[in-house]
Chains A and B, each alone.
Chain A
Amino acid sequence: MSQTIPFETITTDLLIIGGGTAGPMAGIKAKKKNPEADVLIVDKATVKRGGSICRGMDAYNNVTIPGEATVDEYVEAVDIISDGIQDKKVNRVLAENSFQMLKDLEEWGAAAFPRNEDGSFMVQQFHPKGKFLTEMRGDIKPVMAKLCKKLGVRTMDRTMATRVLTDAQGRATGATLLNVRTGECTLCKAKTVLICTGSNGRFNLPDTGFLFGSFDCPFNAGEGLSMVYEAGGELCNMEHHIFSPMIKDFEGPGHSTFTRYGAYLINAEGERFMLNYHEKGERAPSGIRGMAMRREVVEGRGPLYYDLRHLDAETVEIIKDGLFSCERPTEKEFFQNRNIDIGKDLIELTVSGPNICGGHGLAGVKVDETARTTVPNLYAAGDVASTCMGFVGAAWVFGSLAAEDAVSRLDEIQAPEVDEADARAEFQRLLAPLHRDEGLEAKEVEYKIRRMVKPYLASPKHGGRMESALRLVRQYRGEIDQIKVQDLHGVMKANEISSILDTVEMSLQASLFRTESRWGYGHYRSDFPEKSPEWDGCRVVVRKNADTNAMETVKETVA
């Protein structure tokens, strides 16, 4: 295709890419801080229903409620689960601001936080120390979308951002947008840009073989990670993988609910095996639990199960209410279809993962305590950012802080300059799969990329195997350039697949670079099976080399 693709140019003060969890909070806080600021949220779904919590959320996993827990305790708890690989300043800020988010959400009517009879919050221990989890209910997103509208936040639904554009000084100055329904191309010039796209829900191939049967939202395909990388930003901890016990054939979040309320993990012999691996049993860190579960299966003691038969009826009802009322409520029908009564029957499990997510794990865009990335005027918040198990708290807190910082600085930021040739080239790249006479099926290319993850990249990792995988990555890059699609939905998918491959390559490079083992199966290398003091307090940064354009990894001390 040689003709120039027409595009419209628009401007804004703060462009928020992604209207899931962090995005609407950012929009609301930006307008409350500076009502004169022009704020635009774009989402390839809709602001009302896009993102990982499109059906709500059963718990606020990491809120420091005064009288229940302290900021210091939170930072210590994250230090334990991250094995020292955290930016303490970031998590201190998260803890300091997390309760305000709860109060805001409650005041706005977006979420409800059930209380005990004495009026106290229903807090539970979810971290290795301290009680930072409180039950949460409510269909959050429609309320947040409505509030955005009321405050004058502009929104563009069904609009996918594909590249963050930068000026000659390397500052973020906008993004290229595609309406995935109409095909309309837009160049959005923006003084500041906030990425809230979620992480990559389509990383590995689930055991079901169903590409969209994923633990995390599959419509988040790592585009934010790719956009920051292409804009010259840095990512970190991309070698860290999440492994979670999941209901067999229904990979989805929320199963910490089982263990929080005392469910046992048992093997086919009926043994509570986790106590053989960690003193905290079922509540061991996820990497340890993932390692234990895989070992049980490999050594012939699978399948594994959740066992709730010892729990009283009231506790089982609380679990059911949490699981079936929000986040992934279709699980209720799933259990009914399988004739599983979760209080009476054993629940067969699979081990989800490896997964990549800044909210549930460590991998994501490197940000500071104001959610600034290493690219000037570019912010990142939510699952796309590395805050170390920041969950919804990080999305809300850093969405807020990023937005407030951005709209406070508008006077000091000059009008954004964009080279329109960059935008033209991007639209050309983006729409090319639609205009090929022949080519490869997008679904098959995605399948090949994701089927590589478990055998080549999951723990136990090995340098030789990962080098082989990098050769496959190079092959798949060529295949992505041959994808042929029929419609705009296919264009969206081809772009997503490119980001999925980016994420895999980043994770491979970071995993190769970290020549030690840490976080259980979070990063376990059979060729470097021990934790090395040389890596204590150090994280792996992935970025694009400005001179060669090649992906590079560097070691960095994190305080």
Chain B
Amino acid sequence: MPIKVDTEKCTQCGNCETQCPGDLIRMDPETGYPMNAYPDDCWYCAVCEVECQFDALRMVFPTLII
């Protein structure tokens, strides 16, 4: 967390990783899918969501915010 990836839809294109303003997302070397490598640094702007052309990713609010 705090992103949720629908692996049925995700093409592993990496656009979310490329555009995250905080540079928080990395492609998991084991699964190939995006993950938030620095969840404590998320501004919950959801750029990752709008940059996903496949509707495959959801931003999840940090626990201290929900």
Q: Which residues of A line the B interface, CB within 8 A?
A: 44-46, 48-51, 54-55, 139, 158, 180-181, 208-214, 217-219, 249-250, 328-330, 333-334, 337, 443, 489, 492-493
What residues of chain B lie closer than 8 Å to A334, measured between beta carbons?
Answer: 61, 65-66
Interface of B (DSSP majority class): loop
Q: How far, in whole Å, are A257 and B20 apart by their CA atoms in the complex?
A: 27
Whether B47 and A218, one on each chain, are in contact in the complex, defined by CB atoms closer than 8 angstroms, is no
Most chain A beta-carbon contacts within 10 A, residue among B20, B43, B50, B62: B43
Please, what's the 1-or-0 string for B46-66, where 1 marks a CB less than 8 Å from any CB in chain A?
A: 110011000000010110111
Residue with the highest number of chain A CB atoms closer than 10 Å, among B20, B40, B47: B47
A158's partner among B23, B41, B44, B45 (CB-CB below 8 A) is: B23
Q: Which residue of A lies closest to B58 (CB)?
A: A333
* Per-position binary interface string of chain B over residues 19-42, scored 1 when its CB falls under 8 Å from any chain A CB and 0 otherwise: 111110000000000000110111
Q: Compute how far the CA of A211 lies from the CA of B45 in the bound complex, rounded to whole angstroms.
A: 15
Set B22, B23, B50, B65: member contacting A208, Cβ < 8 A: B65
Asked whether A49 and B21 contact (CB < 8 A) given A54-B45, A214-B43, the answer is: yes
16 contacts between A and B (CB under 8 A): A44-B23, A45-B22, A46-B18, A49-B51, A51-B21, A55-B45, A180-B23, A208-B64, A209-B64, A210-B64, A212-B62, A213-B62, A213-B64, A219-B22, A249-B65, A333-B61
B60 to A, closest residue via Cβ: A333
Find the B residue at minimum CB distance from A206: B64
B44 partner, pick from A48, A180, A330, beta carbons under 8 A: A330
Interface centre among A55, A212, A337 (most CB of B within 10 A): A212
Is B23 a contact partner of A489 (Cβ separation < 8 A)? yes
Bound state CA distance, A448 and B59, in angstroms? 28
Interfacial chain B residues near A329, Cβ < 8 Å: 46
Complex Cα gap A180–B43 (Å): 19
**Nearest opposing residue in chain A for B66, CB measure:** A337
Nearest CB of B to A51, in Å: 7
Residues of B within 8 A of A49 (CB): 19-21, 47, 51
Report yes or no: A217 in contact with B44, Cβ–Cβ below 8 A.
no
Closest partner residue, chain A, to B41 (CB atom): A212
Interface of A is mostly: loop
Q: Are B43 and A219 in contact (CB under 8 A)?
A: yes
Given known pairs A55-B47, A249-B65, A330-B46, the reply for A489 and B21 (CB within 8 Å) is no
Q: Which of A45, A181, A443 contacts B21 (CB 8 A)?
A: A45
How big is chain B's contact interface, by range?
Answer: 20 to 34
Measured CB to CB, the closest approach of chain A to B13, in angstroms, equals 15
Q: B47: which A residues are within 8 A, CB to CB?
A: 49, 54-55
Give me the interface of B with A, judged by CB distance under 8 Å.
18-23, 37-38, 40-47, 50-51, 59, 61-62, 64-66
Rounded to whole angstroms, the CA-CA distance of A51 and B45 in the bound complex is 11
- CB of A213 within 8 A of CB of B23, answer no
Least Cβ distance of B63 to chain A in Å? 9
Q: A55 to chain B: which residues have CB within 8 Å?
A: 45-47, 50
Interfacial chain B residues near A209, Cβ < 8 Å: 64
B61 and A337 within 8 A (CB): yes
Distance in Å from the Cβ of B47 to the closest Cβ of chain A? 5
User: Do A212 and B19 have beta carbons less than 8 Å apart?
Assistant: no
Given A211-B40, A217-B43, 6 more pairs with CB closer than 8 A: A44-B23, A45-B22, A49-B51, A54-B45, A54-B47, A212-B41
Task: Output the nearest chain B residue to A211 by Cβ-Cβ distance.
Answer: B40
Alpha-carbon distance A49/B47, docked complex (angstroms): 7
The residue from A54, A210, A217, A333 contacting B62, defined by CB atoms under 8 A apart: A210
Question: Which 5 A-B pairs rank lowest in CB-CB distance, beginning with the nearest?
Answer: A210-B64, A45-B21, A49-B19, A330-B46, A49-B47
Give the chain A neighbours of B20 by CB distance below 8 A. Answer: 45, 49
Asked if B21 and A46 sit within 8 Å, CB to CB, the answer is yes
Residues of chain B with a CB closer than 8 A to A250's CB? 65
CB-based contact B65/A213 at 8 Å:
yes
In the bound complex, what is the Cα–Cα distance between A337 and B65 (angstroms)? 10
Which residues of A are found within 8 Å of B22, using beta-carbon distances? Answer: 45, 212, 218-219
Taken together as a complex, chains A and B put the C-alpha atoms of A44 and B44 apart, in Å, by 18
Q: Which of chain B's residues have a CB closer than 8 A to the CB of A249?
A: 65
Q: Which residue of A lies closest to B19 (CB)?
A: A49
| Contact, CB under 8 Å: A328 / B65 | no
A46 to B40, CA, bound (A): 20
Among candidates B23, B51, B64, residue contacting A45 with C-beta atoms closer than 8 Å: B23
- Per the bound structure, the CA–CA distance linking A330 and B59 in Å amounts to 9
Q: Give the chain A neighbours of B37 by CB distance below 8 A.
A: 489
Residues on B with C-beta less than 8 A from A337 are 61, 66
A55 to B18 CA separation, bound complex (whole angstroms): 16
Given contacts A54-B47, A55-B47, A334-B61, contact A212 B42 (CB under 8 A): yes
Task: List chain A residues, Cβ under 8 A from B46.
Answer: 55, 329-330
Q: How far is the CB of B35 from chain A (nearest CB, A)?
A: 14
Cα–Cα, bound, A11→B57 (Å):
39
Query: How far apart are A192's CB and chain B's nearest CB, in angstroms?
Result: 26
- In the complex the two chains form, is B18's CB within 8 Å of A212's CB? no
B43 contacts across to A, CB distance below 8 A: 212-214, 217-219
B17 → A minimal CB distance (Å): 10
Task: Return the chain B residue nearest A201 by Cβ.
Answer: B43
